[in-house]
Amino acid sequence: MAKQAYQYDVLYLGSGHGTFDGAIPLAQKGVKVGVIEADKVGGTCPNRGCNAKISLDAPVALQRQLAALNPVLTGQTHLNWDANLAHKGDVINGLPDMIEGLLTGSGVDLIHGYGRLVDAHTIRVGQQTYTADQMVIATGLHPHRLAIPGGEFLHDSTDFLDLPTMPKRLVVIGGGYIALELATIANAAGSDVTVVLHGDQALRAFHQPYVEQVLSDLQRHGVTIVRNTTITQVTHAATDYVLTTDASDTLTADWILDATGREPNTADLGLETVGVTVNANGIEVNDHLQTSVPNIYASGDVIDKTQPRLTPTAIFESTYLMHLFAGETTAAIDYPPIPTVVFTSPRLAQVGVTVAQAQAAPATYTLTTQHVPDDWYRQVGQETSGDNTLIFDQDHHLVGATEVSAQADNVINTLLPAITFKYGEHEIERLVPLFPTIGAAAWGQL
């Protein structure tokens, strides 16, 4: 039974990781929970984000590994886009039903439809209203669209992840996660890819020498990188799309990916009606994820925050809110270091203090670097490129790490506990990884 006269103790708007990882255990604790979802249950990550992307990328990464082992392994592999897309469908199409089953099986009421706040305790979906003691806004992000003439000819990442045929010539606008990950996949699937950067740099939050290694690798595989170029218009002529640049040059494409970022889903939710403060970066919250209206909270990508807008962040936030609503904590949210990886080939991953931050404070931090191929274990897989930087504080505790390599994601995951739990010499000695493995290779650097 919900408290007072409300139907629910907690009502979530949106059913992504910002909701379900916390809503399921919350309902299992006997709290009356409702979840409203306008689209596919589970939100972006399972349906049109991480899971779809990594399924399409898996053969690409493997193809690179096999190529590195030439001439030990000979012969050419060919990426079959139809089969890759079908396999992606096989592994992700069941996820909404699976997540719906987990929610309803835990006692959550799942309400299908688009929700808008009517007042601080009421959300309307169609003709129906639902009331709750506490609300959580977890509505995520949507793709930013370039406002240029011909903008209607541009596509987004959701379209790419369902592309029935890989276009012959693909132009990608943007140099972020989505631009470079999807350019990597399209290139491996045989498309002639051009990436257009409006500035000089891609992936600005990452260590630039490592970003340049990723870009050089893409170029070696045939991708064209165009820098300092703004697309001013797109026209459709016969079967071609023609992109005009600010230098009055043109590019021709069969398909164009607008990967210029993602924006918070805060419009048309009734937030202004009830007084929830919002800015261009999302919903403003305090250190308890509470909005300007005390019984309304926010979770996941829609929050205005400095932490990376990633699935693990959304999971951490929804889990924190679960403990808060269950009365198990009153403490402020205490984010651990959150790692991030760009699933290009090679991967680019980082966590904690960045190289730029460490270089700006030489009295506080020490940096060590390693060229990946110098590590014996990496020579086994014939890794011929890649670098990493580890950052230590004055007590020689690891506080940051970044790597560009085929196995950067696994290296950063391996090192993560040392950073999160501030392991000293004693803990590092006590942790005995399997040998020979990538985990042992990474741990051996400490």
Ligand X SMILES: Cc1cc2nc3c(=O)[nH]c(=O)nc-3n(C[C@H](O)[C@H](O)[C@H](O)COP(=O)(O)OP(=O)(O)OC[C@H]3O[C@@H](n4cnc5c(N)ncnc54)[C@H](O)[C@@H]3O)c2cc1C
Ligand Y SMILES: NC(=O)c1ccc[n+]([C@@H]2O[C@H](COP(=O)([O-])OP(=O)(O)OC[C@H]3O[C@@H](n4cnc5c(N)ncnc54)[C@H](O)[C@@H]3O)[C@@H](O)[C@H]2O)c1
Q: Which residues line the annotated binding site? A: 115, 174-181, 261, 301
Contacts with ligand Y by CB under 6 A: the residue count is 22
Cβ–Cβ under 8 Å, residues 345 and 396: no
Q: Locate 111 and state its tokens.
A: 């309400």
Instruction: Report the C-alpha gap between 443 and 421 in whole angstroms.
Output: 15
Among 107, 261, 336, 373, binds ligand Y (CB under 6 A): 261
Q: How far is the CB of 203 from ligand Y (least distance, A)?
A: 7
What part of residues 295-314 is at the interface with ligand Y (CB under 6 A)?
Answer: 308-310
What part of residues 128-187 is at the interface with ligand X (CB under 6 A)?
Answer: 138-140, 157, 178
- What is the number of the residue whose Cβ is closest to ligand X? 300
Cβ–Cβ under 8 Å, residues 369 and 313: no
100 interacts with, out of ligand X, ligand Y, none, CB within 5 to 8 A per kind? none
**Rule CB under 6 A: is residue 32 a binding residue for ligand X?**
no
Among 25, 176, 336, 433, binds ligand Y (CB under 6 A): 176
265 interacts with, out of ligand X, ligand Y, none, CB within 5 to 8 A per kind? ligand X
CA angle 13–144–147, rounded 5-degree value? 135
**Rule CB under 6 A: is residue 39 a binding residue for ligand X?**
yes
The 312-351 site mask, x for binding ligand X (CB under 6 A), equals: x-x----------------------------x--------
Instruction: Report the C-alpha gap between 166 and 189 in whole angstroms.
Output: 7
**Rule CB under 6 A: is residue 260 a binding residue for ligand Y?**
yes
Report the residue number, 131 or 318, with the smaller CB distance to ligand Y.
318
**Rule CB under 6 A: is residue 17 a binding residue for ligand X?**
yes
What part of residues 379-408 is at the interface with ligand X (CB under 6 A)?
Answer: none
**Rule CB under 6 A: is residue 156 a binding residue for ligand Y?**
no
17 interacts with, out of ligand X, ligand Y, none, CB within 5 to 8 A per kind? ligand X
Among 15, 122, 266, 388, binds ligand X (CB under 6 A): 15
Stretch that binds ligand X, among 24-32, 42-50, 274-282, 408-416 (CB under 6 A): 42-50
**Rule CB under 6 A: is residue 57 a binding residue for ligand X?**
no
What part of residues 337-356 is at the interface with ligand Y (CB under 6 A)?
Answer: 340-343
Stretch that binds ligand X, among 32-40, 283-291, 388-396, 433-441 (CB under 6 A): 32-40
Paired with 21 in beta bridges are: none
**Torsion angle defined by CA atoms of residues 43, 46, 48 and 54, in that order, rounded to the nearest 10 degrees:** 150
Stretch that binds ligand X, among 48-56, 283-291, 331-339, 410-418 (CB under 6 A): 48-56
Question: Which positions touch ligand Y (CB under 6 A)?
Answer: 146, 173-179, 181, 198, 202, 259-262, 308-310, 340-343
Site residues for ligand X per CB under 6 A = 13-19, 36-39, 43-45, 49-50, 53, 114-115, 138-140, 157, 178, 265, 269, 300-302, 309-312, 314, 343
